[in-house]
Amino acid sequence: MLKRFREVLLWRWRRNPLKRRSDFTEAWVGLATVTAVLFAAPTVGVTAAVVAERSALTESQGLRHVTAKLVEDAPAATVARFSGVADDELVRATVRWTTDGSSRTGTALVAADRKAGSRTTVWLDASDRVHPAPPTPAQARAQGVVTGTSAAVGAALLVLGLRWAARARLDRRRWAQWERDWAAFDAHRGHRHA
C-alpha cells in the first residue's frame, strides 16, 4: 500500500514516455510551493513579529510620564464590558500638569468616572504633547505574535495562490495541446468536419 502511494505521489519525477513537459514543470512548481510554505512563510512571520514587537517597544522611547490632575470630571464609561463593570474603560478628559515650572493643559485618556482634582499619569513627548500610554512588554509581544502570524499566513496564502495560478495556466496549455493533438489525429483518420 505504501509503495503504491509513493508511486502515485512521485509519478511526475520518474521517467515515463507519457510524461509531458508540463508534468515536469508542475512537479517543480509543487516542490517550490512546499519549500516556500515550510521555510519562507515562517521566516516572514518571525521577521514581522520581531519588527512589530520592536516597533511597539520603541514607541515609549522619547516619552516621559508626569502626574496630572483632572480639570473636570471624566465622563462615564459608554460601553460596559462583558462582566458589566466598565471601571477600567478609558475616556478623554482635560488634564493639567506642570513641567519646567509652567502649567500646561491638554486632553488625555483617563479612567472613566474620575472626579475633577484626582491624579492621573499622562505621557508626554519632548514638545510636551500628550500621547497614549506606550504598550507594556507583554502587549508589545502580543502585538508581535499577531502581526507575525498574520504575515506568515498571508505569505503562505500568496504562495498557494501563485501555485494555483501556475497550475491553472499549465492546465490551459495541456487542454490546448490536447485539442491540437486530437484535431491532428482526427484529420489523419480522414474525419473532417464542415
Structure-block grid coordinates of residue 152: 506568515
Structure-block grid coordinates of residue 174: 495541456
Nearest to 13 by CA among 2, 3, 1, 28: 28
Structure-block grid coordinates of residue 27: 512537479
Nearest to 26 by CA among 8, 11, 46: 11
Tens-place pLDDT, residues 96-146: 888 877 888 888 888 877 788 888 888 888 777 888 888 888 999 999 999
**Domain residue limits, the chain:** 21-57+141-183, 62-134
Nearest to 12 by CA among 30, 34, 36, 37: 30
Side-chain half-sphere of 119: how many Cα atoms within 13 Å?
Answer: 4
* Range of weakest confidence among 55-59, 72-76, 161-165, 177-181: 72-76
* pTM for the predicted model, two decimal places: 0.65
Residue in this structure with the C-alpha cell 521517467, named with its chain if needed: 15
Instruction: Name the phi and psi angles at 80, rounded to 5.
Output: -80, 145
Tens-place pLDDT, residues 10-28: 666 667 766 777 777 888 8
Helix%, strand%, coil% for the chain, nearest 5 = 50, 20, 30
* DSSP tag of 113: T
Nearest to 129 by CA among 152, 112, 148, 106: 106
